[in-house]
Structure formats: structure tokens, C-alpha cells
């Protein structure tokens, strides 16, 4: 069984960045998100429309479908946590998975939400650009703007084969210092039962992959699924002597950048990630990963991907 405490500790540094640009329509776009508008100065989180929460769920499930992963359901019990940490993020203009009690609009529910999900936002500016809910979710999957270098932890949670449910919250609006935004997705739960996926691995990107779900700055990643009954049983994967080859179909092998691996509990507890040169749209790339030790036994994997417009 996946323990919540260990997952939270390893989650503590995963934060997405956010680009800024003047957006005169920010206030009207933000207002359309809510059934009950937030009052950031009054420490009221408001309430998202059901349609906005559905957008987050649909985006997660569409991406999981590309990886042959089972869909997740929406967890309404998680709404308070994700809305409260989104409020805290927006009110303070900063991000933390361990916010202190002196934060404006602090609440125990918000602190719990900070420890159990992916976070976004943390900036107050009159020039803040508005991000759609879909764009926020996609940003977690690409992890191209992760504040922690060479880290794909947000992606690993969303593409966790054992993930069963999510909750999504966001608080966007005006403060005295300008526009502000916080968002959160609950992805860490106390336990994870068996997964129904038939996939033997989770690779990003994989197959014909929509360009809207990819970023040229994104790291490629791979995780082997060796046990569908328990998430932590998938820790018995060793990439220390693995060889990664990526070939442009019809051409030669690519010169790869930094390759890293770990067995941390960001979702499924094995991960191999690769930095590549710029990839071309519409081109087939063949990936070979050899000499992966699965419970001490060497195993090879291969797959292909193509970024499609």
C-alpha cells in the first residue's frame, strides 16, 4: 500500500512556474470560472462551476487514454482542500507544499491540499496572463515549467496507473497588487488498489501524440509496470545499467542529453527520464531501452512516438 506520508515528503518540491504577459481580459475570463465568485481579500475561495471541474477531469482522462491507462473519476470530497490551497496560493502570491500558519487565508484544509496535490500559480502582477484549466493540467503533464530542474513529478502523478480519482480547484482574480491565481489538483490518496491497465509501461510521449499535450522543452520519461496489484511493487526496477537509444526513423541515433532515473514515489515508483535535442513534428521516433533490471532479471523495452499537429 502506498503510504501518504512518504509520498508527501517526496512531493514537497514539485511546483510549476508561470509565464506573465499583459491580459486585459483576465478579470472577465476569471469570472466565468465560478458558480460563486471568490473574494480573495476576504479569504473566501468561491466555488467553481461543475463544467470547469469537468474540463480538468476530461483533460486528465484524455491524456491517460493516450497511455492506455484507466480513466479516473472526480472526487468531490477533495474540493475543499484544493480550493483552500488555491486561495492561499492566490492570496500570498507564492507556492509551497508546506505553507506556514502565518500565510494569509491559512486553513488546515488548505495545508492538507498543499501536501496532497500538484500546485500552480503563486504570482501577483497587473500583467498576469490567464491560463485555461486545460492549459494548467497540460502544464503539469509536460512539466516543462517545473520550478525544480529535471523533474517530472507532476506528470508521474497524473500518469500513475494506480490513480483512481482527482479533485481540481483554482482561485483566480484581483488583489490590491494586481491579478493573481492559484490552482491545485489532488492526486495523492492514502492507498492505491490494483490497476486494470494492460500496458507494460508508461512512456511520454507515446504513439501518435497530440502536439497540444507536448512541449519542446519537455523531458521524455519511461516507467515500467511490472505489477498491477500494488504500486510499490513496481519499485523493483533498476535502470542503473540501462542503455537508451532514440532513432529518427530512416536516420541515425540521436545524441541524447542528461539521462536520470529514480525509484521515488511520485506516482509509480520507478522512472527513467531523458533530455533530447529538439524533436520534429510528424516524424517517427523509435525508442529502445535495453538492460533494464526487473527484479534482478535483464529486460528490454521498445516503442515509438510521433508528435502530431
pLDDT, tens digit (0-9, with 9 covering 90-100), for 25-48: 999 999 999 999 999 999 999 999
Choose among 76, 92, 99: nearest CA to 43: 92
- In a shared domain, residues 124 and 267: no
pTM as predicted: 0.93
- In a shared domain, residues 92 and 180: yes
CB 14 within 8 A of CB 146: yes
Residue range 107-116: mean pLDDT, rounded: 98
At residue 77, the 3 state secondary structure works out as helix
* pLDDT for position 191: 72
Could you give the number of structural domains in the chain?
Answer: 2
* pLDDT for position 22: 62
* pLDDT for position 19: 47
Q: CATH number, domain at 95?
A: 3.40.33.10
CA distances from 101 to 87, 96, 110, 136, 232 (A): 14, 12, 10, 27, 33
pLDDT tops 60 at residue 49: yes
* pLDDT for position 23: 80
Q: How confident is the model at residue 24 (pLDDT cuts 50, 70, 90)?
A: confident
Q: How confident is the model at residue 55 (pLDDT cuts 50, 70, 90)?
A: very high
Q: Pick from 121, 153, 186: which residue ends a domain?
A: 186
DSSP state for residue 219 in the 8-state scheme: P
Residue range 178-202: mean pLDDT, rounded: 94
**Which residue has cell 477531469?**
57
Residue range 274-281: mean pLDDT, rounded: 97
Rounded percentage of the chain residues whose pLDDT exceeds 90: 89
Q: How confident is the model at residue 217 (pLDDT cuts 50, 70, 90)?
A: very high
Residue range 246-270: mean pLDDT, rounded: 96
Q: Pick from 186, 218, 234: which residue ends a domain?
A: 186
- In a shared domain, residues 176 and 205: no
- Tell me the average pLDDT of the chain: 93
pLDDT tops 90 at residue 306: yes
DSSP lists the bridge partners of residue 127 as none
Residue range 238-260: mean pLDDT, rounded: 97
* pLDDT for position 147: 82
Residue 277: give the domain boundaries. 201-307
* pLDDT for position 150: 92
Q: How confident is the model at residue 4 (pLDDT cuts 50, 70, 90)?
A: very low
- In a shared domain, residues 64 and 147: yes
Residue range 41-64: mean pLDDT, rounded: 99
- In a shared domain, residues 234 and 179: no
Query: Has residue 80 been placed in a domain?
Result: yes
Q: How confident is the model at residue 63 (pLDDT cuts 50, 70, 90)?
A: very high
Q: How far apart are CA 199 and CA 309, in angstroms?
A: 25
Q: Please state which of the ranges 34-48, 102-116, 188-202 shows the lowest mean pLDDT.
A: 188-202
Strands (E), the chain: 34-36, 47-48, 73-74, 117-125, 165-175, 178-186, 201-204, 207-210, 220-224, 237-238, 243-248, 259-262, 271-274, 285-294, 297-308
Residue range 229-242: mean pLDDT, rounded: 97
Amino acid at each position: 500500500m502506498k503510504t501518504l506520508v512518504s509520498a508527501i515528503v517526496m512531493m514537497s518540491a514539485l511546483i510549476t512556474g508561470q509565464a506573465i504577459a499583459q491580459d486585459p481580459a483576465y478579470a472577465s475570463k476569471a469570472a466565468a470560472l465560478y458558480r460563486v465568485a471568490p473574494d480573495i481579500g476576504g479569504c473566501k475561495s468561491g466555488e467553481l462551476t461543475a463544467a470547469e471541474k469537468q474540463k480538468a477531469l476530461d483533460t486528465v482522462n484524455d491524456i491517460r487514454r493516450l497511455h492506455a491507462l484507466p480513466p479516473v473519476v472526480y472526487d468531490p470530497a477533495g474540493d475543499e482542500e484544493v480550493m483552500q490551497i488555491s486561495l492561499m496560493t492566490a492570496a500570498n502570491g507564492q507556492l509551497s507544499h508546506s505553507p506556514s500558519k502565518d500565510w494569509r487565508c491559512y486553513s488546515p484544509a488548505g495545508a492538507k491540499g498543499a501536501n496532497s496535490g500538484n500546485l500552480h500559480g503563486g504570482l501577483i502582477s497587473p500583467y498576469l496572463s490567464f491560463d485555461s484549466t486545460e492549459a494548467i493540467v497540460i502544464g503539469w503533464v509536460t512539466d516543462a515549467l517545473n520550478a525544480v530542474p529535471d523533474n517530472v513529478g507532476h506528470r508521474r502523478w497524473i500518469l500513475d496507473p494506480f490513480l483512481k480519482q482527482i479533485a481540481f480547484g483554482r482561485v483566480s482574480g484581483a488583489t490590491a497588487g494586481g491579478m493573481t491565481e492559484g490552482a491545485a489538483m489532488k492526486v495523492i490518496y492514502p492507498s492505491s488498489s490494483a490497476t486494470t491497465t494492460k500496458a507494460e509501461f508508461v512512456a511520454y510521449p507515446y504513439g501518435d501524440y497530440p502536439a497540444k499535450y507536448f512541449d519542446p522543452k519537455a523531458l521524455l520519461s519511461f516507467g515500467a509496470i511490472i505489477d498491477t496489484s500494488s504500486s510499490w511493487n513496481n519499485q523493483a526496477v533498476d535502470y542503473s545499467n540501462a542503455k537508451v537509444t532514440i532513432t529518427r526513423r530512416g536516420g541515425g541515433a540521436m545524441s541524447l542529453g542528461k539521462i536520470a532515473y529514480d525509484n521515488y514515489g511520485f506516482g509509480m515508483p520507478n522512472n527513467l527520464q531523458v533530455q533530447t535535442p529538439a524533436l520534429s513534428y510528424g516524424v517517427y521516433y523509435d525508442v529502445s531501452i535495453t538492460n533494464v533490471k526487473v527484479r534482478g532479471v535483464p529486460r528490454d523495452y521498445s516503442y515509438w512516438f510521433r508528435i502530431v499537429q
